[in-house]
Amino acid sequence: MFVLLNNKFIDRQDSLIDIEDRGNQFGDGVYEVFRIYDGEYFLLDDHLKRLEFSLKETQIDYNLNQSKLKDQLLTLAQKNDVVDGGIYLQISRGSAARNHPFPEQTTPTVLAYPIPVTQPKEQQQNGIQATLYQDIRWLRCDIKSLNLLGNVMAKQHALDYGVNEAIFYRDKDHVTEGSSCNVFIVRDGVIQTHPANNYILNGITRLYIQYLAKQLDIPIKEEVFSVDELKQADEVFISSTTSEVISVIDIDGQTIGDGQPGPVAQQLLDAFFDHKD
């Protein structure tokens, strides 16, 4: 496997990161997951825009040259023969003797490599089950930061519980998002999702779904919903770069709608690929 590390394409075995990299010590960095379909990056500009936002908010002093990074990402995909898959990219603040304040002089570490991603067709056809989990994360979930312990613990809780996804709630009136996805409900034909603020990651797929819903004339609103509204929705679905659109058919044993993937999620999924180019 070829890895892009600080502007160089190198073999995975040779791609060494310093033990004092702040990504390691503090989770002091940001990341993106890109999807490649038919050898082409999907919604690449939107991901790069969000990367820029994450860098700015964390004050990581990296002068992102989007066109250079784009070229490098394309080369990386080509070198690794990625036709249908994903690319993981992370930028940490860099390496310095361990100390909490931002180091005076350090160069960010930029790392990217391919990850296996395939369309979750089975889950899209049958839907998935989910469990609720208290949102124990910090209050800047809009930054795509490397600090994912809350997300990791939530996901593991879901798996241990025998379901596929954990849906976060801050309190009973406030459902936020999934452990690695955004969450949508459908009520009386209207799609609803959490507003893009500090409580959620503004998913690129979430934005794409908003665009698709407008194209399809399906009303969509950004408004907080409660745990009860979630469980009593006609449909619940999740979105992410790797999941695309997947219906949630059961939450903590409560059947959602008729227990089948719903028509709105299906319509969005159909449109997902029609509009992709």
Closest CB 191 distance from ligand PDD, rounded Å: 15
Radius of gyration of the chain (CA): 19
| Letter string b/e over residues 108-141, b meaning 16 or more CB atoms within 10 A of that residue's CB | bbbbbbbeebeebeebbeebbbbbbbebebeeeb
Tell which one of 204, 213, 264, 265 touches ligand PDD (CB under 6 A): 204
Q: What angle do CA 212, 239, 181 make, to 5 degrees?
A: 145
CA–CA dist 148, 144 (Å, integer): 9
Report how far residue 114's alpha carbon sits from residue 34's, in angstroms, rounded to the nearest whole number: 9
Binding to ligand PDD, residues 163-202 (CB under 6 A) = 177, 180-182, 201
Q: Which is nearer to ligand PDD, 80 or 90 (CB)?
A: 90
Is 144 among the catalytic positions?
A: yes
Choice from 124, 241, 257, 272 touching ligand PDD (CB under 6 A): 241
221-240 residues in contact with ligand PDD (CB under 6 A) are 239-240
CB of 206 to ligand PDD, least distance (A): 6
Residue partners of 139: CB distance under 8 A and separation at least 6: 198, 199
Of 54 and 241, nearer to ligand PDD (C-beta) is 241
Which one from 8, 144, 172, 276 is the annotated catalytic residue? 144
Query: Which positions lie near ligand PDD, rule CB under 6 A?
Result: 33, 151, 177, 180-182, 201, 203-206, 239-242
Residues annotated as catalytic are 144
